[in-house]
Amino acid sequence: MNHRVPAALRDAVRQSRPLLEQVSLDLHNRPEIRFEEHYAVGRLTTRLAAAGFDVDKGVAGLATAFTATHRGATDGPTIAVLLEYDALPGMGHGCGHNLIAAGGLIAALAAAAVRPDHPGTLEVIGTPGEEGGGGKVLLLERGVLDHVDAAMMFHAADRSLRARHALACSQLRFTFHGVAAHAAKGPWDGRSAAAGAQLFLTAIDTLRQFIRPSARIHGIVTHGGDAPNVVPDRVEVEIFVREATSAALDALLVRVFAAADGTALASGTTVEYTETAPRYTERRNNMVMADRMAAYTHHLGLELDPPSPEDPAGSSDIGNVSATMPVIHPYVQICPRDTPSHSVRMREAARSTRAHDATEIAATAMAALALDLLGDAEFLAAVREEFHTTTSAPNRCEP
């Protein structure tokens, strides 16, 4: 790994460290949930426009999606830096999207400043609603990424990794319908939607013994009735069903739907189910890009470990992007190992000096990688070759 970040690029990011921290902390202090990230979009696009990027807000009919385009001196590829900036409901930035936004912003600003005459197009794409909204899927479906040749982002975590597999995921709402009745005077006149939902959750718990270790099923009751003395006639359950591949997810969903139908029948209720967001696919990590990113962070003092099947996996809508173009989604450590994501501890870590140090390194490496993809045709060809010759299976896990 002998790739070094050019001194001018490293200096540009270092000089932007105050801006990085300011944007990160501003977003952290004012968290906005999926598709409501108006303040974040304003902060990010104002900076991009001031740096000469052509900004287009509200793209694809999404009020908090945007593109910011920096066109180079000659024709060439389009390389995208993806920003996330939504927070978790009730938790704030427990997934560190404030760092993704600030780091991606600084990477793009530095690359454009150091090499304003770069070939091709450097594009920043603001992708709202990653936490359960599938913003990237909607942008894909509506053509916003059709012209992009490769895309990149990074994520904060409890460990530093070049890549990590992510699970395909379906987000579902199950609505059980019963018959309301007085819970004391005449419960026999009612049919409890709560009973149907309770049986369904018990059936899911039973199912877990007989599914693959790669699968995950988890959820909450979002509406459990209106009063204790009324037999509830409507109860809603929301669950996520995840598996290693989309094909495995499809097979598991058949069993989950059968459990819902069976428990409704057993409880004398009916059930409706629907997907509440676009389905996330598994992630394809482009290791040619990931290894170049790791080479840069190595010389900046941060080691990105190779992917391992032992690392726990979540899900993200960048998986859908990775099925259409080369993508990287490395992780940088901002907290002690085994700090749980989506937690108060992770939220507090996402505003720390350690987090901003790691984000500065990630931003520097991404800026260098973006300029490589724009200006090195041989490197981009290798990236494309891997994308076209590998499958959607998890990437290599050897050291």
Going residue by residue through the chain, which has 399 residues, state the pLDDT in tens, using 9 for 90 and above.
578 999 999 999 999 999 999 999 999 999 999 999 999 999 999 999 999 999 999 999 999 999 999 999 999 999 999 999 999 999 999 999 999 999 999 999 999 999 999 999 999 999 999 998 999 999 999 999 999 999 999 999 999 999 999 999 999 999 999 999 999 999 999 999 999 999 999 999 999 999 999 999 999 999 999 999 999 999 999 999 999 999 999 999 999 999 999 999 999 999 999 999 999 999 999 999 999 999 999 999 999 999 887 777 799 999 999 999 999 999 999 999 999 999 999 999 999 999 999 999 999 999 999 999 999 999 999 999 999 998 644 443 322
Q: Please give the class, per CATH, of domain 7-166+282-389.
A: alpha beta
Overall pTM surpassing 0.75 (yes/no): yes
66: closest CA among 79, 51, 49? 49
- Reading the block at residue 241, the tokens are 């069903």
Handedness of CA 347, 19, 136, 33 (dihedral sign): positive
What are the structural domain ranges in the chain? 7-166+282-389, 171-275
**What pLDDT is attached to residue 324?**
97
The predicted pLDDT at position 309 comes to 78
Query: 171-275 has which CATH code?
Result: 3.30.70.360
pLDDT value of position 391: 60
